[in-house]
């Protein structure tokens, strides 16, 4: 092609030149070998000299924007003679492609640099020593509960649960504790209207499980229970684990109960002596309270065991026939036991005041990490 230079501003007078003034720059679209790239080079230089993504963006708008030099050039091209249009369009498109790739390349370079700078400024130095952050721990009560549950789970006892808001039937009546019974006195609790109450022990879960399943049963029931108590060894809310085993009549004896509980207490307290002391629970007959030899004085007698050498740790017995009657079980035998988790935790960790377990004082809790 013979045309040397197109200057858009002088288009009407000089069809040889095609150029557009833009701000301080000038876009010259060149088609001849002689003039090729004169101001295209300038634009490219401008692009290469850019030192920020924002500056690149400014040039992009000046060149490619709606009112940019290329738009103008294309618009003015329409006024060119028909036979020249194709040639001019080709040249303009080439210029467009070159500027586009120059802009994109420079943009990538600048963005990469900016990222590097930002990373240096905001990056985290992983080699930097930092003081250890506060580490949480399982609460001693839950930790003790887990140990108990794990022991019986390993012996194939299922883990059952029941509601904390119980009704009178499951908490008392079905457990052979009728309304007039004096043993209810020891388990005063929080009552709602309509015969519901906060359960005083986990024993109602025995009733619920028996009413929902057929024998044989081998279960434990861990959970919170509530009583109207508050002193150095009692809190209004505490935790128990209940145990119940039911099988055919004549199959379950006190000897089985003793064997299971002795193994369990040795697991929890180590090499202690275990003593079964006759006691009373309305839902078991015979009933026993179980003591271990004092782990603090090894049975010699100290403050913790009130000089007796023994620590009471749980209640148990052979399930009373009236309980089986209440749930409609016939021709069965079984044993049951119940223990307070806080009592176990207090003994294991030598915690003098049970109430401190629920005060949320980190100075106490951080000792159990």
Q: Cβ of residue 315: shortest distance to ligand PHE, in angstroms? A: 3
- Bridge partner list, 80: none
Binding residues for ligand PHE, per CB under 6 A? 201, 203, 242, 281, 284, 315-317, 336-338
Q: Least Å distance between CB 130 and ligand PHE? A: 48
Closer residue to ligand PHE in complex, CB, 257/347: 257
CB of 334 to ligand PHE, least distance (A): 10
Question: Least CB distance from residue 333 to ligand PHE, whole Å?
Answer: 14
State the minimum distance, in angstroms, from the CB of residue 281 to ligand PHE.
4
Closer residue to ligand PHE (CB): 101 or 253: 253
d(CA 166, CA 149): 22
- Look at phi and psi of residue 317 and say left if phi exceeds 0, alpha if psi is from -120 to 50, else beta: left
Identity of the residue, 162 or 315, whose beta carbon is nearer to ligand PHE in the bound complex: 315
Which CB atom, from 170 or from 201, has the smaller least distance to ligand PHE? 201
Least Å distance between CB 155 and ligand PHE?
A: 17
Residue nearest to ligand PHE (CB): 338
Beta-sheet pairing, 5-6 with 25-30? antiparallel
Q: Which is nearer to ligand PHE, 19 or 171 (CB)?
A: 171
Residue number, 11 or 172, with CB nearest to ligand PHE: 172
Q: Are 264 and 152 in contact (CB under 8 A)?
A: yes
């Amino acid at each position: 092609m013979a045309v040397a230079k197109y200057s858009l501003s002088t288009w009407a007078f000089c069809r040889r030149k095609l150029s557009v003034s833009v701000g301080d720059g000038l876009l010259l679209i060149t088609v001849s070998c002689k003039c090729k790239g004169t101001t295209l080079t300038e634009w490219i230089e401008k692009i290469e000299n850019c030192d920020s993504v924002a500056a690149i963006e400014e040039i992009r708008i000046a060149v490619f924007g709606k009112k940019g030099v290329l738009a103008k050039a294309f618009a003015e091209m329409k006024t060119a003679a028909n036979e020249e249009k194709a040639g001019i369009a080709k040249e303009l498109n080439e210029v467009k492609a070159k500027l586009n790739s120059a802009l994109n390349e420079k943009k990538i370079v600048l963005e990469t640099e900016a990222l590097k700078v930002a990373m240096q400024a905001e990056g985290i130095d992983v080699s930097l020593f930092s003081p250890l952050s506060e580490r949480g721990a399982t609460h001693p009560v839950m930790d003790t509960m887990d140990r108990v549950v794990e022991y019986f789970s390993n012996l194939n006892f299922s883990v059952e649960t029941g509601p904390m808001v119980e009704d009178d039937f499951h908490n008392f009546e079905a457990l052979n504790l009728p309304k007039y019974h004096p043993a209810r006195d020891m388990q005063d609790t929080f009552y709602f209207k309509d015969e519901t109450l906060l359960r005083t022990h986990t024993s109602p879960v025995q009733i619920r499980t028996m009413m929902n399943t057929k024998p044989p049963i081998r279960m434990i029931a861990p959970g919170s229970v509530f009583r109207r108590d508050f002193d150095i060894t009692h809190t209004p809310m505490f935790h128990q684990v209940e145990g119940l085993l039911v099988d055919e009549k004549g199959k379950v004896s006190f000897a089985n109960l003793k064997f299971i509980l002795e193994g369990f207490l040795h697991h929890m307290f180590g090499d202690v002596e275990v003593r079964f002391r006759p006691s009373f629970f309305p839902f078991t007959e015979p009933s026993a309270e179980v003591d271990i030899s004092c782990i603090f004085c090894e049975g010699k007698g100290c403050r913790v065991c009130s000089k007796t050498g023994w620590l009471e740790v749980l209640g148990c017995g052979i399930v009373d026939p009236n309980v089986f009657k209440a749930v409609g079980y016939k021709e069965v035998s079984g044993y049951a036991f119940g223990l307070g988790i806080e009592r176990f935790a207090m003994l294991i960790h030598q915690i003098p005041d049970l109430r401190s377990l629920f005060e949320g004082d980190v100075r106490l809790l951080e000792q159990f990490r």
